[in-house]
Amino acid sequence: MDTNTTFRLSLWTDVPAQPGTTNNYSHPGQLLCSSLFYPPQAVGTSLARYNYRLDVSNVFERFYDPDIPGTGGFIGTDTQIWRYDFYPREACWRQTGTPSAPRTYWLSLSANTVNVDQNLFGWKTSTNHWNDDGVWGHTNNFPPGDWKDLRDPRNGKSLDLSFALRSFPVVGVNKDIRNTTTQNATGIEIVVAGIHEVTWHYDDSPPWPNFSVTYAGGNTVLRWTGKVVPPGAGAASVSHVGFEMGGTAITYVSLSWLSATGIIGPAIQVGHHSWNNGATLVLNNELMPTPVTVLGGSVEFYEDPVGLDQMVLGGNRNPLATYPLDIQPGAIIPGCTMRIPIRQPLPPRARYAMYMIQLGDEQGLAATLDFIQLPLDMAIQPVVTGLNVGQGMLSLRWPTMPDRAYRIQGSTDLRSSFFDIFTEIMGDGSEMDMDVPLLGSQGFYRILLDPE
């Protein structure tokens, strides 16, 4: 396996099959979006990186090279199947089909290995089949213009390629933090409560040489190391780091400056979450042994989450609306909670809120400039992903968010109101299955996210 492979993931329109012609299978048409993904260890301020892990081991499978005629294309053997996760973020990745006007898209993936002669990459074929064949093409003149359908040369059986699409809300943090200790720092460590999938990280400029994500004691540990940040009040004493992860809120366990011998002191930080669908921002001084000063801030609203690379001063952002935060300059959080009401109403299409907050130490000296992005309830409405009708019962499946409550409602006639079937269903971050009774000859069901 080549651990330095870069991948190009692309989204395409569909050219439908035209039976009776040479184009009797569908294939990609117009290129809509293309993103290059780097390996997790790649050094850079804000690269798009993929994650990978071993998915299945102790299997026996062969590769098929469709460039070689007949069964001569069966090459090599494989005992491991690896899973690769990509997190495309550009606006062109948005899919615009609807239930009443569906659209078909194509995904393509190309691997660029460091040593072409020794390292090959194959895409797992799928037992699930939809529409017609998968296709393959050559990328020496990208985009490919020679798409061919993919079939098993032994029996002509149509082959599809294996992938899964997931959609989930994200939270993001980018921060300028000052080394307020008395020692040179050679690293920064942020510990977040819970096990989270880190989809992106921001590594300062010039970048920290090393970044790692580990899990310990049920927490997610993010660590930047490999350069020196001196203490003091100058620009050299500030580092800008950040991360994005799946979820709806962030609970810090600790945020620390590191040296070669371990933790040398905390970085000034408060906990934060939105409440009542973004109507209130809550700040908690639960990490610092001393009071924290809030020097000011603002909130921006977006339909889609802002990229980490734009959650900086002077970032290229186009918010639906920007409101100042109602904070008295120099307000102190002495070790408790501050609630900040947000101007209402929110913009109609708002699904994410990004808060920019300047924090200071006990004396009011600027220490941390926080960019915090949180999803509003509109971004995490439940979506039914599966259903199954049984004897007198209907099984519903939907993805849940940890610590959020759901209810299932039903109705026998859409002209009448819905009534509660189950309430106070607590989510845990996994997909949940619930059996509900069938409501007679016809029934309508919905799943609601209860207000926080």
What CATH number did the domain enclosing 436 receive? 2.60.40
Tell me which range, 229-233, 276-280, 281-285, 430-434, is most confidently predicted by mean pLDDT.
229-233
Domain boundary (122, 139, 161) is at 161
End-to-end CA distance of the chain: 46
Please state, in angstroms and rounded to a whole number, the distance separating the CA atoms of residues 231 and 238.
9
Please name the residues in contact with 140: beta carbons below 8 A apart, sequence gap of 6 or more: none
Question: Does residue 451 surpass a pLDDT of 80?
Answer: no
Domain boundary (329, 344, 378) is at 378
Please give the share of the chain, as a percent, with pLDDT higher than 90. 50
Task: Name the more confident of 429 and 405.
Answer: 405
Q: 201-224: per-residue pLDDT in tens?
A: 999 999 999 999 999 999 999 999
Tell whether 14 and 146 lie within a shared domain.
yes
Q: What pLDDT does residue 52 have? A: 94
Record the tokens describing residue 195, joined without a space. 């096990």
Q: What pLDDT does residue 361 have? A: 87
CATH of the domain at 240: 2.60.40.10
Query: Does residue 353 fall inside a structural domain?
Result: yes
Please state, in angstroms and rounded to a whole number, the distance separating the CA atoms of residues 406 and 74.
50
Query: Does residue 311 fall inside a structural domain?
Result: yes
Tell whether 112 and 195 lie within a shared domain.
no
Tell whether 154 and 103 lie within a shared domain.
yes
Query: Does residue 236 fall inside a structural domain?
Result: yes
Q: 7-22: per-residue pLDDT in tens?
A: 999 999 999 988 887 7
Q: What pLDDT does residue 76 have? A: 83
Please name the residues in contact with 414: beta carbons below 8 A apart, sequence gap of 6 or more: 444
Q: What pLDDT does residue 20 have? A: 82
Average pLDDT of the chain, as a whole number: 89
Q: What pLDDT does residue 91 have? A: 84
Record the tokens describing residue 105, joined without a space. 């898209």
- Nearest Cα neighbor of 90 from 307, 378, 354 is 307
Whether 359 contacts 295, CB under 8 Å: yes
Tell whether 357 and 398 lie within a shared domain.
no
Question: Does residue 236 surpass a pLDDT of 70?
Answer: yes
Domain that holds residue 346: 170-378
What mean pLDDT comes out for the span 179-192?
95
Q: What pLDDT does residue 141 have? A: 64
Tell whether 232 and 318 lie within a shared domain.
yes
What mean pLDDT comes out for the span 57-61?
91
* Backbone region of residue 250 per phi and psi (left: phi > 0; alpha: psi in -120 to 50; beta: other values): beta
Query: Does residue 1 fall inside a structural domain?
Result: no
Tell whether 306 and 443 lie within a shared domain.
no
Tell whether 267 and 130 lie within a shared domain.
no
Domain boundary (161, 182, 209) is at 161
**Longest C-alpha distance within the chain, in Å?**
79
Residue whose tokens read 């849940």: 400
Q: 359-404: per-residue pLDDT in tens?
A: 998 888 889 999 999 998 877 888 887 888 888 899 998 888 777 8
Please state, in angstroms and rounded to a whole number, the distance separating the CA atoms of residues 138 and 152.
19
Q: What pLDDT does residue 158 have? A: 86
Q: Categorize the per-residue pLDDT at 257 as very low, low, confident or very high, splitting at 50, 70 and 90.
A: very high
Query: Does residue 294 fall inside a structural domain?
Result: yes
Write phi, then psi, for 378 (nearest 5 degrees): -60, -25
Q: Categorize the per-residue pLDDT at 354 as very low, low, confident or very high, splitting at 50, 70 and 90.
A: very high
- Structurally, the chain folds into a number of domains equal to 3
Q: What pLDDT does residue 6 have? A: 94
Q: What pLDDT does residue 116 have? A: 61
Q: 408-439: per-residue pLDDT in tens?
A: 999 998 888 899 999 999 987 778 899 999 98
Query: Does residue 269 fall inside a structural domain?
Result: yes
- Nearest Cα neighbor of 270 from 290, 247, 287, 245 is 287
Query: Does residue 186 fall inside a structural domain?
Result: yes
Q: What pLDDT does residue 142 have? A: 64
Please state, in angstroms and rounded to a whole number, the distance separating the CA atoms of residues 339 and 370.
17
Tell whether 367 and 233 lie within a shared domain.
yes
Q: 94-149: per-residue pLDDT in tens?
A: 888 877 788 999 999 988 887 666 667 888 888 888 888 899 888 776 667 788 88
